[in-house]
Structure 1
Amino acid sequence: MARKEIFYTVEDKGRDHGKVFYIREMSATQAEWWAIRAGLAMAKNGVNLPDNFQIWVWQAWRKSASKWWLKSLQRMHGLSWTN
């Protein structure tokens, strides 16, 4: 599935007036990890987070880790284990 892409031209007056920015939608994996890092940074700096935030982080990590393990095992398929 293609990610959304746009060119955004700043029209407000100021130092960025007339600048053009290329913006592409993040992948789901990038967005998930960004959200986790942002949440942990907020928690470290005293922002009140929902009580279930740690559970959500653990579930997100477990889901990502399971994908990593599956990909690792798939790469091992077909390797020769003898010398």
Structure 2
Amino acid sequence: MAGLIQAAFNLGMNGAVAGLLTSVPALLRLLDIAAPRLAVRFGPVAIVVAGLTAVSAGRAPRTLAGSTPLLLATTVLARA
């Protein structure tokens, strides 16, 4: 929790945006419902590779995020 408070302060976030940041992973879990169907259609290896690519693409720039929109966008990508 201390990390969120520090990040919110450093990026000038208000409470609503900080709350949105913490709820993104929970909202993305709703997409987990589609995973079995996607694996049947495209194959499990392709889905795992796509997921790892998305996580990697979101993690690297997230450490350099200097603005709230960039942090939120990379959070969504990293949690996909």
Q: Is the helix fraction higher in 1 or 2?
A: 2
TM-score normalized by structure 1?
0.31
Give the TM-score normalised by the residue count of structure 2.
0.32
